Amino acid sequence: MTQPTSLTSNKTLLAWVDEMAKLTKPDRIVWCDGSEEERKRFTEEAVGAGILEPLNPETRPGCYFHRSNSNDVARVEHLTFICTPEKEEAGPTNNWMAPADAYAKLTPLFDGSMTGRTMYVVPYIMGPAGSPMSKVGVEVTDSVYVALNMRIMTRMGKIALDQLGDSNDFNRGLHSTLDCNPERRFICHFPQDNTIWSVGSGYGGNVLLGKKCLALRIGSYLGKKEGWLAEHMLILGVESPEGETTYVAAAFPSACGKTNFSMMIPPKRFKGWKVWTVGDDIAWMRVGEDGRLWAINPEAGYFGVAPGTSMESNANAMLSIRSNTIFTNVALTSDKDVWWEGMGTPAPEEATDWQGRPWKKGSTEKAAHPNSRFTAPAQNNPALSKYWDDPKGVPISAIIFGGRRATTVPLVMQAFNWVNGVFFGATMGSETTAAATGAVGIVRRDPFAMLPFCGYNMSDYFGHWLAMQTKLANPPKLFMVNWFRKGKDGSFLWPGYGENMRVLKWVIDRSRLRVGGYETPMGWVPKAGDLDLSELAISSETVDEATSVNFTEWKQELESLDAFFDQMGPRMPKVLRLQRDLMLARIELMADPTVT
């Protein structure tokens, strides 16, 4: 059944593809080589089938538009499963199915699912080619949209087969779109088999299997086993006017600002400073021989949130999506350009909305879906770090945890030590966003921004983070930030975006032990004068409100963690509860200095 391919003679791979073809029964099998000729051919096929629509070649050369099924526009956490032999291995935060049950449930769905269709065999590398930190995956899919997106998001094709050689060490990914019926939609991970089966969806995070499924869920499992970290983190480099570059990683939950932060343009006040993007969503980090933590970005492109992206908020993203980009679920204008809310250009009088319906300026309905996305090659980014593809990665000096919190969490705070920082990460709260289906704006605990992405027991994941300290002679400093605190009128207190450079500067200076701080019961915050606020267009009262640490709010926050800790179960490291108790005791001490 398998069409002969000259691309590989890897027997394990050929046998597995055969097996998948026997199950799904495609009419044709196409092995992807990743060439430009192949991109053209796939694109023509997709355009012919109405899956992609070409955009205006003058304004958006090489760009295409795609509309997914309107019931299929975000990740589906309730349909995502970790399938380990023991339920306890998946832990208290994941949906679990026994591997045999999951295979038995999904096999009939895949049986003949590709009949009348083409099976694309998509070999890919997560990470720079030749890097000891990289991993190879092969995704077989019946979606040409997936093949074209994987081509942008990963090092795809011959390059991956060459890296794999005859090895059997590759992730086995199987994807079939079916009819996008949510009743028949499952995203199942089999960490012990290095296997992912995804069925019934055509949306990004559910089907671009290298991304959340391999690089985070399977990746985190491998990281625990092999002693490294797979994280939902951006990686950036900050270059000072003197030419000193400091690398920072930051974990913010989905749709909470990673892409923006990683491409940030410093404000005028920071003349001569430059932020370079290494990655915008995922970091794989290992301990180097020098005892520092070294990070690579396993991806090769950006699958970014479109709404809110403008020349003002993120010029580098806007410049990244001028060419060779696929847009999904945005609005389409009559001159075949794209538009979304917060794009910074006036709304068109008329457009076609994300569901393909006529849309008029002033409509109460959104033209673009709040989770509409662009897929753009990293090479398009003017701020791309020259080390983004370096097999060694970059050395990380600081790690930042941040959520979307209207109250309590100050603009920035530094942990006293590693355990304190792991506590910051573990107890992160954030309001839910449109990146996953379900209610938006509800505060939930999203430990390390990994709640939807940790491929094993979250308590063991905390333990893994704690244990990393013993391997790091030169650990990064750990911080917490919040760009989303609101004032009484409900508007954001901090202007965010490029102005976040002011916070980043403090973070870097703290990491390099050259700026002051003030000790609160929870961590270090900038002293008056430590944050550079000159030429900032907001009042000092507003800055005070954004940076303040309110003991009453924090007492509530810390007390509310009981429920979370109870949910984490008996495997949760005790030191995290002690950390919480210590903070509460310190608050009491500060509120009543007579307590002993």
Report, in Å, the least distance between residue 575 CB and ligand GTP. Answer: 29
| Contact pattern from residue 257 through residue 296 relative to ligand SPV, giving x for each residue in contact according to CB under 6 A and a dash for the rest | ------------------------x---------------
- Looking at beta carbons, which residue is closest to ligand GTP? 496
- 3-state class percentages of the chain: helix first, strand second, coil last, to nearest 5: 35, 25, 45
Which helix (H) or strand (E) is 36 found in, with range? Answer: helix 36-48
| Contact pattern from residue 272 through residue 311 relative to ligand GTP, giving x for each residue in contact according to CB under 6 A and a dash for the rest | --------xx----------------------xx-xx---
When the beta carbons of 281 and 530 are compared against ligand SPV, the nearer one is 281
Residue 186 binds to ligand GTP (criterion: CB under 6 A):
no
Report, in Å, the least distance between residue 488 CB and ligand SPV. Answer: 31
Strand 394-402 vs strand 477-481: parallel, antiparallel, or unpaired? parallel
Number of residues that bind ligand SPV (CB under 6 A): 9
**Rounded distance between C-alpha atoms, residue 348 and residue 216, angstroms:** 38
Q: Which does 75 bind (CB under 5 to 8 A by kind): Mn ion, ligand SPV, ligand GTP, none?
A: ligand SPV
The tokens for 188 are: 């199942």
Q: Which residues contact 334 (CB under 8 A, 6 or more apart)?
A: 348, 350, 351
139 and 173 Cβ atoms separated by less than 8 Å = yes
| Contact pattern from residue 109 through residue 128 relative to ligand SPV, giving x for each residue in contact according to CB under 6 A and a dash for the rest | --------------------
Instruction: Name the one range near ligand SPV by CB under 6 A: 122-130, 143-151, 205-213, 324-332.
Output: 205-213
Catalytic residue among 63, 213, 256, 454: 256
Task: Give all strands (DSSP E) within 142-227, no chain letters.
Answer: 155-156, 171-176, 186-190, 195-199
Taking the chain, what is the end-to-end CA distance rounded to the nearest angstrom?
A: 77
**Rounded distance between C-alpha atoms, residue 162 and residue 33, angstroms:** 11
The tokens for 70 are: 């309107």
Q: Which residue in 182, 496, 517, 569 binds ligand GTP (CB under 6 A)?
A: 496
Residue 205 binds to ligand SPV (criterion: CB under 6 A):
yes
Report, in Å, the least distance between residue 325 CB and ligand SPV. Answer: 15
Instruction: Name the one range near ligand GTP by CB under 6 A: 490-498, 503-511, 541-549, 578-586.
Output: 490-498
Site for ligand GTP in 497-536 (CB under 6 A): 497, 500
Instruction: Name the one range near ligand GTP by CB under 6 A: 60-68, 151-159, 474-482, 491-499.
Output: 491-499
Residue 157 DSSP class: S
Single-letter code of the amino acid located at 31 = W
| Contact pattern from residue 22 through residue 61 relative to ligand SPV, giving x for each residue in contact according to CB under 6 A and a dash for the rest | ----------------------------------------
Distant-in-sequence contacts of 587-592, Cβ < 8 A, 24+ apart: 587/521, 587/551, 587/554, 587/555, 587/558, 589/521, 590/521, 590/551, 591/551
Report, in Å, the least distance between residue 285 CB and ligand GTP. Answer: 17
DSSP string, 138-150: EEEES-HHHHHHH
Q: Which residues contact 488 (CB under 8 A, 6 or more apart)?
A: none
256 is known as an active-site residue: yes
Report, in Å, the least distance between residue 255 CB and Mn ion. Answer: 8
Distant-in-sequence contacts of 9-12, Cβ < 8 A, 24+ apart: 9/166, 10/161, 10/164, 10/165, 10/166, 10/167, 10/168, 11/166, 12/166, 12/168
**Rounded distance between C-alpha atoms, residue 511 and residue 248, angstroms:** 10
Q: Which does 496 bind (CB under 5 to 8 A by kind): ligand GTP, Mn ion, ligand SPV, none?
A: ligand GTP
Residues belonging to the active site: 256
Contact positions vs ligand GTP (CB under 6 A): 252, 254-260, 280-281, 304-305, 307-308, 313, 435, 483-484, 492, 496-497, 500
Contact positions vs Mn ion (CB under 5 A): 254, 281
